[in-house]
Structure 1
Amino acid sequence: MKGIDKWLALGWRHPMWDVHRFYLSLAKKKKYQKEWLEELRAEKRIALPDGSELPIDQKTVDLFFDYYGDRNKLFEEALALLRTEEEALEYCAKNNISVLKTATKSQDHHQSSKSMIAAVTHTASQVCAAKGLALEPDPQARCVWCNDHDLHVSARNLDGAIPGLANPSVVWEIKEYWGKTGGGSKMSDAVYECHLVGLELREFESRGGKNITHIVFIDGKHQWATRKSDLRRLIDLMNQV
C-alpha cells in the first residue's frame, strides 16, 4: 500500500496534520471530542487546554474532514490485507522460502515465525539480482547518509537497505506480530519507531539530503486487529511522507 497522492502532496509539515493529532489526543474524552469536532466545523476554531481558542482557516478545516473518509477506507484495506501466521507460512512454503523462528526463553510463549522477514528478504534479493543492485538484508549496524553539508545516522538498526548501510536509497522496517494474545504496547512502540525513523529521514532530506524511500512491512491479522488505533496511526504516517 501507499499513501494517497492528495495527502502526500500536502507534505508532513502541513498544519492539517497538527489539527488531526490534536483530535486524536482527545480519544479518551468522547463527549468532549464530539463537541470539539462540532466547534471546528461550525466556528473554524479549536479550544486549547488553557481555555483559549485557536482559529483554523477554512481550507485546513475542509482538509481535516475530507481526510477521514480516505483514512477509514485505507484502514479497511490494510486490515483485509493482513494475514494469519498460517497464511504467511503457506506463502513461504509455496515459494520454497526457508523460515526461522523467534526463540523465547519460555516454551510457554508462542514461538513466532519470521515469515515476513523471510519473504521480504527473498523478494528483495530477487529484485536486486535482476537489476544488478547490492543489498544488505540483515543490517547489524546503523545506516549512515552524508553529503557535502550534513550527516545523518538512523535512530536504530533497520531491517534492510539497498544498496548497503552507507547512503542507501531504500530502507525498510518489518513489524510482523504473531501469537494467540492481543498485540499490547509493542504495537504502539512499532508505530513510534517507524515515525521516528521516517521523520528523521524527511528532516535530513529537507536539509539537502537525497530522497530516501522508507518502506514499512507489517503483518499479523489477529494482533494488529486488536490494536486498531495503532494501525490507523500507521495509515496517517503513510500519508505524510
Structure 2
Amino acid sequence: MKADPRFFGNPTSFWAYVRAISESLGYSIRGASTVRNPSIDDMFAALKKLGQPTETLGTPTNPSQFAFLLSEYFTYRAEILNNQVRVDLMNSVEAFEAYDEVKDSVGARMTGNRILNSKGEESAVEYHVGDSIVRVPLNKQKDEKKRESYLTGIVNLIVAERLNGLPCDYDPRKMTSVDHDGKLYQTFSRRYDGSFPSTRNPIAMWEIKEYYYTTTFGSKISDAVYITSLDGYEREELERGSGIKIHHLVMVDAFETWWGKGRSYLCRMVDILNMGHVDDLLFGREVIRELPQIADDWANHYMTEYVKES
C-alpha cells in the first residue's frame, strides 16, 4: 500500500484536523468492528466539542473545499481499512499456513546448522533460498507457542528469493548510517529489522510489527506507531539535507491485536503513510502479494547503481 496522491503532501494543518476529529468522534464505531467514516456534520460537531475553530471548514450548509478534502480522506481511510486491511490481517493459524506456503514457493531448504543464542538456546532456523542463506528467528514465546516468527519469516524468505544472493542484512545489530563524499549525514536513532544491502548507505530499510500472541493491548503497539513516525521524520530530514533517499517499508500483522484491539492505531498508521513518513505500508497477506515486486526494485537499483559503480 502506497500513499494516495490526493492526500500525500498535505500540510501539517490538514493532519491536525484529521487527528482532532478522529480523536473527538472515536476512530471506530463501538460494537460494530468498523472504522468510522465521519460526515461533514460530524466533523463540525467534533470540533465544537473540542472547542476548536471551524471557520476553515466553511459552514455545515456550505462546506469549504478543505472540508470536502477531509471528507474524502476519511472515506478513503475507512474503505481501505474496512475492505482491504481487515481481510489481509491474519491470525496466528493463518500466518503459520501462509509461512509454510511461502517456504514451499521459494524452495527454502534448511541448512542443518544450529543457531544458538548466548544462553545456548536455539534462536533461529537457517535456510538456503536460491543463492542466499537466510535465518528466520524464533519468537519469544514459550512451550507450544515457541515457533519461527511467521511474518518475519515470510519477509526474510521472500526478500532472499528475490535478491538471490545479493548482500542483505536481515538482522541488523547496529544503527543505520548514511555518508557521502567524506561526510556523515545521518545515524538513525534505532536499529531496523532489516536493511539492504547493509546498514551503511542502504537502498532500503524495513520494520516488522507482528503481535500474534499479544494477550493485552499495551504500550508495545502504540509505541510501534510513534516509532514509525519518528523513523519517518529522521528519513525526511536526511532527504532534505542531502537529497539521499532510502526506501522505508513497514509491515504489520496480527488480526486480533491490530483489528480486534487497535483499530485506532491502524488508522494512525494509514495517516503516517499518507503524511509521507513511510514509502510502503503492508498488512498481513499484502506482504506476500506486494513484497516480491518491491524487492525486485531494490535488486534492480543495486545492479544499476552499486554494480555499475564498482
**Aligned twin of 1:90:** 97
1:79 and 1:221 in contact (8 A); partners too: yes
Q: 2:72 aligns with which of 66, 71, 80?
A: 66
Measure how far apart 1:109 and its partner are.
Answer: 10
> In the alignment, does 2:140 pair up with 1:142?
no
Measured in 1, the distance between the counterparts of 2:24 and 2:194 equals: 36
Measure how far apart 1:23 and its partner are.
Answer: 2.3
Note the aligned Cα RMSD (angstroms): 3.0
**Aligned twin of 1:18:** 16
**Aligned twin of 2:7:** 7
Higher normalized strand content (fraction of residues) = 2
**Aligned twin of 1:207:** 241
**Aligned twin of 1:124:** 159
Measure how far apart 1:118 and its partner are.
Answer: 1.1
Measure how far apart 1:39 and its partner are.
Answer: 6.0
Amino acid at match of 1:163: P
Measure how far apart 1:180 and its partner are.
Answer: 6.3
**Aligned twin of 1:43:** none
Measure how far apart 1:228 and its partner are.
Answer: 0.7
TM-score with structure 1 length normalisation?
A: 0.80
> In the alignment, does 2:171 pair up with 1:165?
no
Gaps of 5+ in 1: 41-45
What is the total number of aligned residue pairs between the two structures?
Answer: 226
1:159 and 1:174 in contact (8 A); partners too: yes
1:16 and 1:63 in contact (8 A); partners too: no
After TM superposition, the structure 1 = structure 2 runs for residues 109-120 of structure 1, keeping only pairs within 5 Å, are 111=146, 113-120=148-155
Measured in 1, the distance between the counterparts of 2:227 and 2:89 equals: 20
Measured in 2, the distance between the counterparts of 1:26 and 1:147 equals: 46
**Aligned twin of 1:78:** 85
Measured in 2, the distance between the counterparts of 1:52 and 1:79 equals: 32
Q: Residue deviations 1:53-85, cap 9 Å, x none?
A: 474273433221210000001112112101111
Using a 3 Å threshold, how does the CA distance of structure 1 residues 232 and 39 change in structure 2: closer, same or farther? Answer: closer
Using a 3 Å threshold, how does the CA distance of structure 1 residues 128 and 81 change in structure 2: closer, same or farther? Answer: same
TM-score with structure 2 length normalisation?
A: 0.64
Using a 3 Å threshold, how does the CA distance of structure 1 residues 160 and 19 change in structure 2: closer, same or farther? Answer: same
Give the 3-state SS of the residue equivalent to 2:198 in structure 1: coil
Identity %: 25
Amino acid at match of 1:231: L
1:48 and 1:54 in contact (8 A); partners too: no
Gaps of 5+ in 2: 27-37, 58-63, 109-124, 126-135, 277-310
2:192 and 2:206 in contact (8 A); partners too: yes
Amino acid at match of 1:66: E
> In the alignment, does 2:189 pair up with 1:183?
no
